[in-house]
């Protein structure tokens, strides 16, 4: 469709037109043939060299992602009603795919997955934690955030505050300053609140917690991990808030050892265990997880029959994927060597660049290195409040496998190397 309307135009290559034809929303700087005079953060129509309409999105000359498309309809008017409708659509989707109880701690807006590029909104009970990574959204936050608050309150949700977690350096790449603080605060509400997930309570600090305060994407994977924990001796590596460990303890594990290199994380996990009355069958260890697992192997401590691996991302770029795969390989090989025949392994990667294919191949390589044969119970992804767009690979990032060691098939071998989390 040829278009002629008031918005400025960005003309892109034919290769870009073909790449974005099936829904990918990003137009890169090297795909732009020409652009009208456009204020950064404002809307522009993206057209082909034949003036065929591709979509409308936020323009930013400072960003490698030159345009982030938010609409592919020439009938859209980008007023307050447009953004309210889209917010309502995202909220209604979550009410459909999640229970009412799960909605009290969930991701309400997942960036491109909800057609709000660069916007993350997490609900933690009575607080919203917001992170904005695109200039176009930044300029419209006074439209978007009050509209979202209105939608929630009209549905009976008690929201006392909105906290901005824009304290990430990626904002500088978009020409925005880092910031952190209250957008809305009523009755001097505390930035620390208590959420309930899978029947377990957690203290969440939206001001100082990692990312937006708490990792919500593993919600149902924690439940799946807990479903096989009854009667087992569990080791939860990279426990962070203790979420996998607590789910397993609540699920009837004989004992759970929570391990993390961060003393602060261990204290947080311990506090959450006490909050839920689960400390009795749990222990907490401050240690590098590689060293912890190696020490157990060297001391022939094979008391664990269930190991959980949920490390931070080993890679945040395509350039370091190779080294990341080696890091995952070492960690998973150690766990497989430590587990007995019939033991269970839950293992995850939260990096988009570590694709499902690469991760699965790593698990096969780890099994060979450990001299074991694996049975896959199930493979899972992120919770549905982090929706995956089939046309946008970047929205599919979390891989989670439940596995069983069924045979020890050959001499175990292992190369002792060390890889660092980035």
Structure tokens at 27: 């137009």
Q: Which residues pair with 161 in a beta bridge?
A: 127, 185
CA distance linking residue 377 with residue 122, whole number of Å: 30
Smallest CA-to-CA distance from 282 within 317, 251, 328 is with 251
Q: Respond yes or no: is residue 16 known to be catalytic.
A: no
**What are 44's strand-pairing partners?**
57
Contact (CB, 8 A) for 192 and 205 = yes
Closest CA to 310 of 222, 251, 395: 222
Q: Which class for 77: exposed (0-12), middle (13-18), buried (19 or more C-beta within 10 A)?
A: exposed
Do the beta carbons of residue 196 and residue 99 sit within 8 Å? no
Residue of 106, 350, 409, 410 marked catalytic: 350
CB count within 10 Å of CB 19 equals 15
CB atoms within 10 A of CB 7: 17
State the catalytic residues: 350
């Amino acid at each position: 469709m040829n278009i002629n309307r008031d918005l400025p135009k960005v003309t892109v290559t034919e290769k870009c037109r073909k790449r974005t034809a099936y829904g990918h929303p990003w137009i890169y700087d090297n795909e732009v043939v020409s652009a009208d005079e456009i204020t950064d953060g404002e809307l522009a129509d993206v057209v082909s060299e034949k003036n065929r309409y591709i979509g409308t999105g936020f323009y930013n000359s400072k960003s490698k992602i030159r345009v982030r498309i938010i609409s592919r309809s020439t009938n859209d008017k980008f007023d307050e009603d447009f953004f309210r409708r889209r917010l309502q659509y995202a909220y209604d989707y979550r009410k459909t795919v999640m229970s009412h109880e799960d909605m009290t701690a969930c991701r309400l807006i997942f960036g491109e997955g909800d057609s709000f590029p660069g916007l993350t909104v997490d609900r933690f009970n009575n607080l919203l934690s917001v992170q904005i990574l695109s200039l176009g959204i930044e300029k419209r936050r006074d439209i978007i955030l009050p509209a979202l608050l209105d939608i929630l309150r009209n549905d009976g949700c008690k929201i006392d505050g909105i906290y901005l977690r824009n304290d990430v350096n990626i904002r500088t790449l978009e020409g925005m300053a880092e910031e952190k603080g209250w957008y809305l605060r009523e009755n001097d509400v505390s930035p620390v609140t208590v959420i309930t997930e899978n029947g377990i309570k957690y203290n969440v600090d939206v001001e100082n917690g990692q990312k937006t305060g708490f990792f919500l994407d593993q919600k149902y994977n924690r439940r799946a991990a807990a479903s096989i924990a009854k009667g087992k001796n569990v080791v939860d590596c990279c426990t962070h808030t203790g979420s996998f460990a607590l789910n397993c303890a609540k699920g009837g594990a004989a004992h759970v050892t929570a391990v993390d290199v961060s003393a602060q994380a261990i204290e947080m996990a311990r506090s959450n265990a006490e909050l839920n009355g689960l400390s009795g069958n749990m222990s907490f260890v401050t240690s590098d997880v590689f060293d912890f697992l190696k020490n157990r192997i060297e001391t022939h401590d094979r008391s664990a029959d269930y190991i959980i691996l949920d490390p931070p991302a080993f890679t945040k770029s395509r350039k370091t994927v190779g080294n990341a795969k080696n890091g995952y390989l070492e960690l998973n090989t150690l766990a497989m060597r430590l587990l007995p025949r019939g033991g269970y392994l839950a293992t995850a990667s939260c990096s988009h660049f570590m694709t499902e294919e690469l991760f699965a191949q790593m698990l096969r390589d780890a099994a060979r290195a450990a001299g074991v044969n694996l049975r896959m119970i199930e493979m899972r992804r992120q919770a549905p409040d982090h929706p995956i767009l089939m046309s946008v690979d970047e929205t599919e990032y979390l891989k989670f496998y439940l596995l069983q060691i069924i045979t020890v098939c050959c001499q175990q071998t292992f190369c002792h190397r060390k890889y660092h989390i980035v």
